[in-house]
Amino acid sequence: MSEEWKQEIEKRRTFAIISHPDAGKTTLTEKLLLYGGAIHLAGSIKSRKTQRHAVSDWMEIEKQRGISVTSSVLQFDYGGCRINILDTPGHQDFSEDTYRTLMAVDSAVMVLDAAKGVEAQTKKLFRVCSERHIPIFTFVNKLDRFGKAPIDLMDELESVLGIRSYPMNWPVGSDGRYRGVYHRQTRQVELFEADESHGQKERASALYALDDAALKERLEPDVWQSLQDDITLLDEAGESFDEERIACGALTPMFFGSAMTNFGVRNFLEEYLRLAPPPAPRESSDGRIEPADDRFSAFVFKIQANMNPAHRDRLAFIRIVSGRFERNMSVWHSQSDKTVKLSQPQQFLAQDRQIIDTAYPGDIVGLFDSGIFGIGDTLTDVGRKIRFADFPVFPPEKFARVQAKDTMKRKQFTKGVEQLTQEGAIQLFQQPGAGSESYIVGTVGTLQFEVLQYRLQSEYNTEVLLNMQPFEVARWLAFEDGREVTPAALRGADRGMFVHDRDGRPVLLVNNEWALGWITENNPGLLLYPVPPDKDKV
C-alpha cells in the first residue's frame, strides 16, 4: 500500500449525529457543512419550518411530517480531513435503519438540548454506540436559551447514561446571556460578536487570554467571576483528559454551543476532527480486517429504493472497510456467492449525487442495485470469501395484516411489499394457505406502518388496508427431535397465530410473554427462537 493511500485512510472521519428529535441535529449538521465550506449559506438543507416545504426531500413523507426517515450521507473536506456524516433518522420510533447506520460509523456526536438534557431517544441511540465501544462526543446545544446548568448536565450524563464527561470548553455567561466559550486546551476565551445574518453565515469572534484585562472589561462582573470559579472547580475536581478512555467510549468530550447562532461550532468541528478516530478495523469470519489491508472489502448497511421519484432506482449503501474501491471493479458478493461489477457508484451532498471513481476505507458509496443486495452483505476482492460479523437483529414487536384495497392492484402491491422487505423496513409473514394478496407484516415500531402505507401509495400507486394484530412477540419454531412444525402439532396455540416467514420457516405470533410461557409449557421439546435460528440476520 502506498504512502498516499495510507494518508487517504488516515484523513477520513466517518460519524453519525445522534439526538432526540428537535435537539438540533439537522441544524448542527448544516452548520458543520457551513463551517466546512461545503455550503455557503446555512438554511439550504432544512431550516425554518416555512422553508422546509420548499426543499425537495428524498421522500415526500419527510416533508409532510417534518422528520427525516431516511439516512443520507454527506461528504466534505475540512482541515485536511475527509468527513463523512451519516444522518440518522431522528423520529421517536425505534428504527432499525438508524441502528444499522450506526454500524457503519467510527464515532458519534450526541446532540443534547441544554434545557432538556438526556431524552428518551438519546438513551436508546447512546446504548447502541456504547455497545460498539465507539468514541462519543457530546454537543450541548441551544446555549443561547435558558437551560440546565452545565454541571448538572455532566451529572445527568453520568447518572442516566453511565458515561463520564470531559468538558472541552465551558460556556461564558448563562441563561440567555451566553457570550462565548472558554477553551480548556488553550486556556483562551472566545467571545462571539453580534450577528446580522441570523446564523446563516459564519460568526465572527475574538480570542482573549484568561487574565486579559480586555476580557474582564467586556464581561459583566458576575459572569467574569463565575467563569473563574468554574474553571478552578473543573481543573481541580473534574475528570482528567484521557485519550484512551475517549477512544473506547468510556469518557465523552463535551462541548457547549449553539448551532443556530453558530456559537462554538468551528471549535467543535476542529477539536472533533483532531480527536475522532480514522476508520476502524472490523471483525470478519477471517479475523480482524484492518483498513490498511490493501484487499478491498465492504459491507452493505442500508438499502433505499425510489430515492428519486423521477428514476425508479434502488441504491445499496456500502461502507468500505479495507482496500480501495474503484469504479467498475468486480467483487465477490457474499449473499449470492457470485462476482458482481460495481458500476455507477455514487456519493452524496444533500440531494446532489455524483459518480465517483475511487473511494477509501471509511467512505460510503451508493451502488445501483438490481435487487441482489441485502443488508449485511459482504463484498470483497474476488477469490477472498470473508464475511463481516453479524448485524444486530431486531425482532418484530408490532404486527398488522396488510392487503391491497383494490384486488386488481395485487401485482403492484406484492412488488411494493417485497421491495420494502428487502430494504429491511418490514418483515413479511404469511398464514399457511393465504395468497399473495394478504400478508402479516412485522415491524419494530408503528411508524414503519405509516411509511409502508405511504410508500405503497406514492411509489406503487396502491392503497392498502391495515389491520393491526394483537401480537407482540414472534418466535421461530423447531422441535428438538426434528419433527416438522405444523399448526396441528402445536398444543395451546390457535391457527391464527401460526405463520411462515419469507423463507418458509414456521413462526408463532403471540400476544405477550405470558402466552409464550403457556405455549412453552404445553409443548415439551419445542424450541422457540427470537430470530431465525439458522440465519445470522433477518
For residue 330, count other CB atoms closer than 10 A to its CB. Answer: 13
Provide the 3-class DSSP secondary structure of residue 482: coil
DSSP assignment, residue 258?
Answer: B
Residue 44 Cβ, how far from ligand G4P at the closest point, in Å?
Answer: 13
Write out the three cell numbers for 430. 404469511
Residues 489 and 524: beta-carbon distance below 8 Å? no
In the chain the first and final C-alpha atoms are separated, in Å, by 36
Cα separation, 85 vs 66, whole angstroms: 20
Chain contacts with ligand G4P (rule: CB under 6 A): 19, 21-27, 47-49, 90, 141-142, 144-145, 258-261
Question: Is the Cβ of residue 48 or residue 341 nearer to ligand G4P in the bound state?
Answer: 48
Residue 172 Cβ, how far from ligand G4P at the closest point, in Å?
Answer: 16
Beta strands in 120-173 (DSSP E): 136-141, 164-167, 169-172
Per-residue 3-state assignment (H helix, E strand, C coil) for 366-414 = EEECCCCCCCCCEEEECCCCCCECCCCCCCCCEEEEEEECCHHHHHHHH
Question: Is the Cβ of residue 92 or residue 414 nearer to ligand G4P in the bound state?
Answer: 92
Write out the three cell numbers for 112. 443534547
Residue 68 Cβ, how far from ligand G4P at the closest point, in Å?
Answer: 7
Residue 196 Cβ, how far from ligand G4P at the closest point, in Å?
Answer: 17
Cα separation, 27 vs 113, whole angstroms: 12
Phi then psi for 510, rounded to 5 degrees?
Answer: -130, 160
Write out the three cell numbers for 341. 461489477
Cα separation, 309 vs 324, whole angstroms: 31
Residue 23 Cβ, how far from ligand G4P at the closest point, in Å?
Answer: 5
Question: Is the Cβ of residue 114 or residue 359 nearer to ligand G4P in the bound state?
Answer: 114
Question: Is the Cβ of residue 40 or residue 53 nearer to ligand G4P in the bound state?
Answer: 53
Residue 70 Cβ, how far from ligand G4P at the closest point, in Å?
Answer: 14
Question: Is the Cβ of residue 20 or residue 505 nearer to ligand G4P in the bound state?
Answer: 20
Question: How does strand 136-141 pair with strand 107-113?
Answer: parallel
Question: Is the Cβ of residue 90 or residue 445 nearer to ligand G4P in the bound state?
Answer: 90
For residue 430, count other CB atoms closer than 10 A to its CB. Answer: 17
Question: Is the Cβ of residue 50 or residue 240 nearer to ligand G4P in the bound state?
Answer: 50
Place of cell 460479523: 389
Residue 48 Cβ, how far from ligand G4P at the closest point, in Å?
Answer: 4
Cα separation, 258 vs 265, whole angstroms: 7
Residue 36 Cβ, how far from ligand G4P at the closest point, in Å?
Answer: 17
Question: Is the Cβ of residue 22 or residue 294 nearer to ligand G4P in the bound state?
Answer: 22
Residue 176 Cβ, how far from ligand G4P at the closest point, in Å?
Answer: 10
Question: Is the Cβ of residue 258 or residue 443 nearer to ligand G4P in the bound state?
Answer: 258
